[in-house]
Structures are given as structure tokens and as C-alpha cells.
Amino acid sequence: MTAIFCVKAHKIKLNPTPVQEIYFWRAAGVARFAFNWGLARYNEILDWNREHPETKQQVSGRLLRKRFTAIKPEWVSEVTAWAYIGAFEDLQAAFVMFWKKQLAGSLPPARKPRGDGRPHGWPRFKARNHTTPAFYLSNQIIRFTGHFITFDVKRVGPVNMAEEFRFSNGRILGGRISYSQGRWWLAVQVEIEHEPEHGDGAVGIDLGIKYLAVTSDGQVVDNPKALQQSLRKLRRMQRKLDRQRRANNPANFDEKGRAMRGKEWATSARMKETETKIAKTNARIANLRREIAHQFTTDIIRNNEIIGIEDLNIRGLMANYKLAKAIADAGLYEKRRQLEYKAAQNGAILVPVSRWYPSSKMCNKCGWVNTGLKLWEREWTCGGCGQVNHRDGNAAANLRDEALRILENDNRRRTTLAET
Ligand SMILES: [Zn+2]
């Protein structure tokens, strides 16, 4: 099998001198300034285009960067030009991401309008206090020698790194220097070549709402205790916040206890405390979810070559308000995303099965279709062969078989084409 390329990020702690640190802050300031300037132009132009559809103006990160280069203030040139060039690339990427999500219907559901009147997911201005100071470095200027990186020899000189760069045989794509947890970090994107690694099995996966996933080999992957505990803690604190909000704003609720619109809301120090705790728990839950999903998806690819999954219509499901929360909670989108890129990286085949295929309703043993199956029924007895089917396990087995059938059909079509 041919080798495959994949992109890795290598994060290294930096030990800059005080003088180098001044440069870093300045470069991060330039990046933020350029991003905000560009976003303001983007907003102006897109607003203009909406009101004057007959005289639309072009807009892109690259066009704006050219305008910026012509008018930029002098202090911008005190640091590497890549600091602002990277900012315009970030800006463009942020808009592309927004439009992609809008097309895919995966933008967060809009409950409340945003303060600036823009839709949810629209790029935001980078506030000095609420964004990670960071700036971009092009692969054209990055050089590594032992424990040192250079990218602007004249003004910064070699910057000390806590460890050596590990992927010296890879192709450097770019880097970013950022400040978090009281330190400066370098993240380098490297493209490396590796042998594809996947098993030779075929598996169907039902990415569940109730479970993390159920596979066709009968494995029920449950969400771990730590996650369930954190989720319980989160719900408890959300209830607490609700009580505190009610206690602080008794006049803002109607006789049925519902919040009324257009009211001023008071907050207390205790509420702020609860809010901080909620934010922390949410971050922990997100991290846990990502970790769990990584373990699961890595394991699947390690053992299989063919993976059948349901081609979920995430947009359609998200429109169903009650399901939307459960789906977001279960991280369906994240699991799907990881399976996709890991399969591609390792030469495995991910086969999406049409969502109209009756994977839950059809008995995997005999093909009888249970047309009356309800969403809440976890188990059902087949009217054809009498087998007791566990909902998700049966669906997973059907997804595996359907994936194999689709691939076989594809092969047959290819063979016939080659013969004629
Ligand atoms: Zn049956």
C-alpha cells in the first residue's frame, strides 16, 4: 500500500528573553489589529452587498490584505509581515467556516440574537482581554537549530525552545506563537509521511444518543462514569443558577413562572460564581468527550478496513428541538468527523449508508421490516423469524451489511465498465 501524508501539530514551550517577549506582544497586537480591521471591512462590504445586490463588491482575505498593506500604520512594520498576513488568512478561514456550517446546517441553534445583531457563528472582533494573543509564522521563515527557532533573525534572533523540534523529516506547513497559561508556546504544523494502518474487519456503527456507540460486533460503548458525573454536576449547577436568577429578579417572571421578555436582569456575585463553575464544567465535558471519541475512533480504525455508518442528516435532526440538544450532547458530529479523517489518513473506507435505509426497522437475520417500530422501543421481536433484536445492535449489523453491499456493487460496476 502507498504511504499516506498526514498533518501533525507539534506544540513546544518557548523560553523567550524579556526583549523577545516584547516583540511577541507587539506581533500579537499587530495580528489582532489586522484581524479586527479586516473584519470591520468584511462587515461593511457584506452589509453593502445585502443592500445593493446589483452592485456587489468582491471581498476576500487576500483582497483586504492588499488594501491593508497599502494603508497600514508604520508600527505594523516593526514585526514580521507574516503576523498580519496570517491574520487575514485566519479571517478568511473564519468566514469560510461560517458559510460551510451555514450550508451544512450545523450552526448552533439561535435562541437569543447576538448583541451585535450578527448571526451565531459569525466571526467576532478580537477583544484585548478575551482572546489568546497569537501570531502566525510562515514555513518560509521558520528555521530550527537544536533547541532554537529563528524566524526574524535581525529583530528577534534565535528563540530558545524547551525541547527540540521532533519532526525534522516532515514538511513544515506553518507555525503560530501564542500566549496561554502565563507562557509563550510555539505550535508547528508538519506534514509527515506514514504507512497507513488499519485492520481488515468490516464493522457497522450506530452512533447513538443513549450510548456513545453500538457496533455490529455487539460492543456497546457506554459513556464513561466521569462524563456522566460531570453531566449531572452541570445540570445541578444550571438548576442552581436558575434559582439564583429567580431569587434576584422576582418581578421578571409571570404567574406561571416563565421569564418575561424585555426585562432588565440583575446579577449577583454568587450568580457570577455559579456561572464560572458552569463554564469550567462545560470545558471539562467538552475535553472528556473529545478524548472518549478519540479512543473509540482510533480503536475502530485499528481493527477495520470497512466502516458502515448512517449518513445522518444532522441539519434535519437539529431542527427537531428536543433531539438537537441530545445530538449536540452526544457529540455525533465530532465522532463522525474523527472517523472521516482517521479513515482517510489510514486508508480505511468509511461508507455512509443512506438515512432512508431502514437500518433500525429491518431484522438483520431475515430482512423482515418492523414498520410500527417506535423511537422509544429499545428491543423488539421480529415478526418474520422471532429473533429478539436489540435496537442499536441490530441497526449496526444492518449498516455493516449495507456498507459491504454498496462496496460490492461499486466493484461490480467498475469491473463491468472495464470489460466493455
Ligand atoms: Zn427476523
pLDDT at position 37 = 96
On whether both 76 and 175 belong to a single domain, the answer is: yes
Which structural domain range is residue 59 located in? 4-194
Tens of pLDDT, residue by residue over 326-343, are 666 667 778 888 999 899
Ligand 1 center to 381 CA (angstroms):
8
On whether both 34 and 158 belong to a single domain, the answer is: yes
Ligand 1 center to 202 CA (angstroms):
22
pLDDT reading at 180 higher than 80: yes
On whether both 323 and 397 belong to a single domain, the answer is: yes
pLDDT reading at 194 higher than 80: no
Sorting pLDDT into bands at 50, 70 and 90, what band is 224? confident
Q: Are strands 183-194 and 220-221 parallel, antiparallel or unpaired?
A: unpaired
363 by Cβ neighbours in 10 Å (0-12 / 13-18 / 19+) ranks as: buried
Sorting pLDDT into bands at 50, 70 and 90, what band is 313? low
Distance (Å, rounded) from C-alpha 112 to C-alpha 271? 20
pLDDT at position 117 = 83
pLDDT at position 329 = 63
Last residue of a domain, one of 145, 161, 194: 194
Q: Give mean pLDDT, residues 87-97.
A: 94
On whether both 190 and 205 belong to a single domain, the answer is: no
> How many domains does the structure of the chain reveal?
2
pLDDT at position 324 = 67
Residue 135: strand, helix, or coil: strand
- What are the distances in angstroms from CA 136 to CA 13, 17, 166? 16, 19, 20
Ligand 1 center to 20 CA (angstroms):
71
Lowest mean pLDDT among 126-140, 196-210, 269-283: 196-210
Last residue of a domain, one of 194, 213, 235: 194
On whether both 265 and 392 belong to a single domain, the answer is: yes
Q: What is the pTM of this model?
A: 0.59
Ligand 1 center to 352 CA (angstroms):
24
pLDDT reading at 315 higher than 80: no
The percentage of the chain sitting over the pLDDT mark of 70, rounded to a whole number, equals 92
Ligand 1 center to 371 CA (angstroms):
13
On whether both 94 and 141 belong to a single domain, the answer is: yes
Ligand 1 center to 394 CA (angstroms):
10
Contact 303, 203 (CB under 8 A): yes
pLDDT at position 6 = 76
On whether both 238 and 344 belong to a single domain, the answer is: yes
Tens of pLDDT, residue by residue over 55-78, are 888 888 889 999 999 999 999 999
On whether both 165 and 212 belong to a single domain, the answer is: no
Last residue of a domain, one of 160, 179, 194: 194
Distance (Å, rounded) from C-alpha 250 to C-alpha 263? 11
On whether both 217 and 359 belong to a single domain, the answer is: yes
Count the Cβ atoms, other than its own, within 10 Å of residue 68.
19
On whether both 321 and 398 belong to a single domain, the answer is: yes
On whether both 402 and 307 belong to a single domain, the answer is: yes
pLDDT reading at 14 higher than 90: yes
Ligand 1 center to 388 CA (angstroms):
8
Q: Which residue has the higher pLDDT, 258 or 363?
A: 363
On whether both 156 and 211 belong to a single domain, the answer is: no
Ligand 1 center to 362 CA (angstroms):
8
Query: Residue 337 has what DSSP assignment?
Result: H
pLDDT reading at 38 higher than 90: yes
